[in-house]
Amino acid sequence: MAQEDVFKKLVAHCKEYGFVFQSSEIYDGLGAVYDYGQNGVELKNNIKKYWWDSMVLLHENVVGIDSAIFMHPTIWKASGHVDAFNDPLIDNKDSKKRYRADVLIEEQLAKYEDKIEKEVEKAKKRFGESFDEKQFRETNGRVLEVQAKWDELQARFVKALNDSNLDELKQIIIDQEIVCPVSGTRNWTDVRQFNLMFSTEMGSTADGALKIYLRPETAQGIFVNYLNVQKTGRMKIPFGIAQIGKAFRNEIVARQFIFRMREFEQMELQFFVRPGSELEWFQKWKQTRMNWHQALGFGKENYRFHEHDKLAHYANAAVDIEYRFPFGFKEVEGIHSRTDFDLSQHQEYSGKKITYFDPELNESYVPFVVETSIGVDRMFLQIMAATYAEEEVVSEDGKKDMRVVLRIPAPLAPVKLAVFPLMKKDGLAEKAREIIDDLKFDFNCQYDEKDSIGKRYRRHDAIGTPFCVTVDHITLEDNTVTLRYRDTMLQDRIVISDLRSLIAGEVSMKKLFAQL
């Protein structure tokens, strides 16, 4: 199936099974804003728990906070967001559609990459086992020609970004003959900067109202609480502060479902270190975070690091962790070495001293910071994309059937156990409820008595429930049930009293942590 179709199916599945809904849908929706449904919120909470526990429980020098979304407006002046949190936008005069100029150019680069990959794939098929991919990439004329175009464009693009040269960005779009995907024309406006922050007013009187911003990242809430936490927690450098919370960005191009939203959630860690040690810590966190992703078992080949071509105004090193989505490799998480930029700026703008006295060095300094920043929603989309599968199965009556299954790692699955009475009568329903009552404080359980057992399996496969239990007449005699495993569809007859420990071992976060 084409990757575009897979993605369309995924979006439809998210709605049909109560994972994600368009916000304000009955009013025709609100662009790039989404609500999470009954299964979505469970998955989202589990993602957050996986992250929070891996940061705060597993690192004795990391603590968490929950800062307010509204903050003093000077914070955003100090952080540089008022002046520099911009994206370069360009409009097509015919379609009146707006685009990010940098994204149009990135897509052009991706087209060259695709061309190269297609050449490699063709050659692979042609030469079979004897194919030497490295040699082919280094010597094939067609590949070298496209690679040279890529190199030239990339170099020009990076220079334009680093010089903030908007005219050059437009010139690149013209020279590359990039057309608007809607009108198909090259009738472009000039490139302009567009600030991504939402603002509102706080205060009741028109005169006294204060212009404030909805935070575009949670990180600043950590920086301005650095002193509070360091002092009250008696934290010694190196130490970290973790936070999960909403962030808001007025994205110019909001496409690809929950990949780029205007209201989203971040999980961020600011790790405070001695000046001069930041690049070593940057390397450590880079690897720690990659391990966290790969522990989910979605295939190492589907992740890669992407070094930043243009560093943000606060960073001296930056890398993204990218995942292979159905629409290509895209950023899920950013790791930045933010130097002492933020704390120094807040020191200057607030007039408060923000330093750390290092007893080992017997000196005070402004700490340097390594940040890890991941979007909950992007992580959610990654999990849905990685685990969605359509499979041919043989149904109970021997007929071929299709099932849609979400192979979500059991610790993250919205529902852990579904319990089905074979039929409602003969006390089977009561027995099924008894099992749920006994286990409902340990894991998220669901009772289901409607339709055939096969249909009930399908419903739970579609939301990723790892275990289903069927209560039948034999259960009433010997307290055993049929336990059915989502991934293998195999069934076991087991004693009810063994259910708790068997399921607990599989759904515990420890299962994931053991691989970190």
If one asks whether residue 87 binds ligand GAP (CB under 6 A), the answer comes out as: no
Q: How near is the Cβ of 350 to ligand GAP at its closest, in Å?
A: 20
For Cα atoms 261, 262, 263, give the angle at the middle one, nearest 5 degrees. 90
Q: Which one of 88-96, 238-246, 261-269, 442-450 is the stretch in contact with ligand GAP (CB under 6 A)?
A: 261-269
If one asks whether residue 79 binds ligand GAP (CB under 6 A), the answer comes out as: no
If one asks whether residue 221 binds ligand GAP (CB under 6 A), the answer comes out as: no
Q: Tell me, what DSSP letter sits at residue 214? A: B
Give dist(CA 96, CA 336) in Å, integer: 36
Measured between its terminal Cα atoms, the distance across the chain in Å is 33
If one asks whether residue 268 binds ligand GAP (CB under 6 A), the answer comes out as: yes
Give dist(CA 285, CA 267) in Å, integer: 14
- Name which position in 238, 240, 375, 466 contacts ligand GAP (CB under 6 A): 375
Q: How near is the Cβ of 263 to ligand GAP at its closest, in Å?
A: 8
If one asks whether residue 414 binds ligand GAP (CB under 6 A), the answer comes out as: no
417-421 and 445-447 beta bridge pairing: parallel
If one asks whether residue 378 binds ligand GAP (CB under 6 A), the answer comes out as: yes
432 conformational bin, left if phi > 0, alpha if psi -120 to 50, beta if neither: alpha
Q: Which one of 82-90, 139-147, 259-267, 392-400 is the stretch in contact with ligand GAP (CB under 6 A)?
A: 259-267
Please, which residues have CB within 8 angstroms of residue 205's CB and are 6 or more apart in sequence?
A: none
| H or E element in which residue 44 lies | helix 38-52
Please, which residues have CB within 8 angstroms of residue 143's CB and are 6 or more apart in sequence?
A: 116, 119, 120, 136, 137
Applying CB under 6 A, what is the total number of residues that bind ligand GAP? 19
DSSP states of 452-466: -HHHHHHHHHHHT--
If one asks whether residue 377 binds ligand GAP (CB under 6 A), the answer comes out as: yes
Assess contact for 392 and 399: CB atoms under 8 A.
Answer: no
* CB nearer ligand GAP, residue 377 or residue 461: 377
Q: How near is the Cβ of 119 to ligand GAP at its closest, in Å?
A: 31
- Residue whose entry in the numeric block shows the structure tokens 């560093």: 311
> Which residues are registered as beta bridge partners of 322?
304, 331
Please, which residues have CB within 8 angstroms of residue 39's CB and are 6 or more apart in sequence?
A: 17, 18, 19, 414, 415, 463
If one asks whether residue 374 binds ligand GAP (CB under 6 A), the answer comes out as: yes
- Residue whose entry in the numeric block shows the structure tokens 């990723």: 464
* CB nearer ligand GAP, residue 278 or residue 333: 333
If one asks whether residue 219 binds ligand GAP (CB under 6 A), the answer comes out as: yes
Give dist(CA 386, CA 414) in Å, integer: 16
Helix (H, G, I), strand (E, B) or coil at 462: helix
* CB-closest chain residue to ligand GAP: 375
- Provide the mask over 354-373, with x wherever binding to ligand GAP is found by CB under 6 A and - wherever it is not: -----------------x-x
- Provide the mask over 301-340, with x wherever binding to ligand GAP is found by CB under 6 A and - wherever it is not: ------------------------------xxxx------
Q: Which one of 2-10, 52-60, 203-211, 258-266 is the stretch in contact with ligand GAP (CB under 6 A)?
A: 258-266
* CB nearer ligand GAP, residue 246 or residue 510: 246
Q: How near is the Cβ of 251 to ligand GAP at its closest, in Å?
A: 5
Give dist(CA 296, CA 198) in Å, integer: 35
Give me the helix-helix angle, 166-175 and 141-162, nearest 10°. 160
Q: Sign (positive/negative) of CA torsion 357, 362, 363, 366?
A: negative
Count the residues in the chain. 516
Give dist(CA 461, CA 479) in Å, integer: 25
- Name which position in 13, 260, 346, 431 contacts ligand GAP (CB under 6 A): 260
For Cα atoms 416, 422, 424, give the angle at the middle one, nearest 5 degrees. 105
Q: How near is the Cβ of 269 to ligand GAP at its closest, in Å?
A: 10
Q: Which one of 44-52, 354-362, 374-382, 459-467 is the stretch in contact with ligand GAP (CB under 6 A)?
A: 374-382
Q: How near is the Cβ of 184 to ligand GAP at its closest, in Å?
A: 27
Assess contact for 371 and 270: CB atoms under 8 A.
Answer: yes
If one asks whether residue 89 binds ligand GAP (CB under 6 A), the answer comes out as: no
Q: How near is the Cβ of 331 to ligand GAP at its closest, in Å?
A: 5
Assess contact for 33 and 24: CB atoms under 8 A.
Answer: yes
* CB nearer ligand GAP, residue 42 or residue 320: 320
Helix (H, G, I), strand (E, B) or coil at 36: strand
If one asks whether residue 261 binds ligand GAP (CB under 6 A), the answer comes out as: yes
If one asks whether residue 102 binds ligand GAP (CB under 6 A), the answer comes out as: no
* CB nearer ligand GAP, residue 170 or residue 336: 336
Q: How near is the Cβ of 30 to ligand GAP at its closest, in Å?
A: 14
Q: Which of residues 238-257 bind ligand GAP (CB under 6 A)?
A: 249, 251
Q: How near is the Cβ of 334 to ligand GAP at its closest, in Å?
A: 4
- Residue whose entry in the numeric block shows the structure tokens 């005070």: 364
If one asks whether residue 438 binds ligand GAP (CB under 6 A), the answer comes out as: no
Site residues, ligand GAP (CB under 6 A): 217, 219, 249, 251, 260-261, 264, 266, 268, 331-334, 371, 373-375, 377-378
